[in-house]
Amino acid sequence: MTRPPLPLLLLMLMYLLLAIVALWRAIDTQSMDLFSLGVIPVLIGMVLKAKWATVVLKVYIAIQALGFSALATTAILAYQISPEDVKVVVDGQSIPIPLIAAIAILLLAFQLFIAFSKSTKSYLTSEQSIG
């Protein structure tokens, strides 16, 4: 069995951590969040090297992009109405909106780079694929 390329391996690790947090949150709050839990089929497809994994990965990234753009649109509209009320506070610490936007853009760009790279395509469509 061949190892995945390093960028794909990092993405799989990131998705594994996200899946663990999503499952923990689902058990803790007793509610399903399909935006977070949607990473599980993507991770399974990448681990199994399934033929459909690239499609599911690209769809999942597109869903993330739509979600982030909806949140950005809402934040821009809210900032136009009441700038002093648009802030993100976690454990009493105020997080700047531009920092959140930059991190979201970097994460989406990283995922898109991996999803459309030749090494990812060749790894997921190799002859040892299952599915």
CA distances from 19 to 4, 12, 37, 43 (A): 19, 10, 6, 8
Work out the angle at residue 57's Cα, subtended by the Cα atoms of residues 53 and 62, and round it to the nearest 5 degrees: 150
Residue 57: pLDDT over 90:
yes
Question: Domain segments of the chain: what residues?
Answer: 6-124
Question: For position 1, what pLDDT does the model report?
Answer: 62
Token look-up 């769809």 returns 59
pLDDT, one tens digit per residue, over 106-125 is 999 999 999 999 999 989 88
1: closest CA among 41, 45, 44, 47? 47
| Distance between start and end Cα atoms, the chain | 15
pLDDT, one tens digit per residue, over 59-71 is 999 999 999 999 8
Residue 55: pLDDT over 50:
yes
Question: For position 51, what pLDDT does the model report?
Answer: 87
Question: For position 16, what pLDDT does the model report?
Answer: 95
Asked if 19 contacts 39 with a C-beta cutoff of 8 angstroms, the reply is: yes
Question: For position 89, what pLDDT does the model report?
Answer: 87
pLDDT, one tens digit per residue, over 7-36 is 999 999 999 999 999 899 889 888 887 777
Q: Quick one: DSSP state of residue 126?
A: S
Q: Establish how many alpha carbons lie within 13 A of residue 7's alpha carbon, considering only the half-sphere containing its beta carbon.
A: 15
Distance CA 94, CA 67 (A): 22
For residue 11, give every residue at least 6 positions away whose Cβ sits within 8 Å of its Cβ, in sequence order, or none.
46, 110, 111, 114
Residue 128: pLDDT over 80:
no
Residue 126: pLDDT over 80:
no
Question: Model-level pTM?
Answer: 0.84
Residue 129: pLDDT over 50:
no
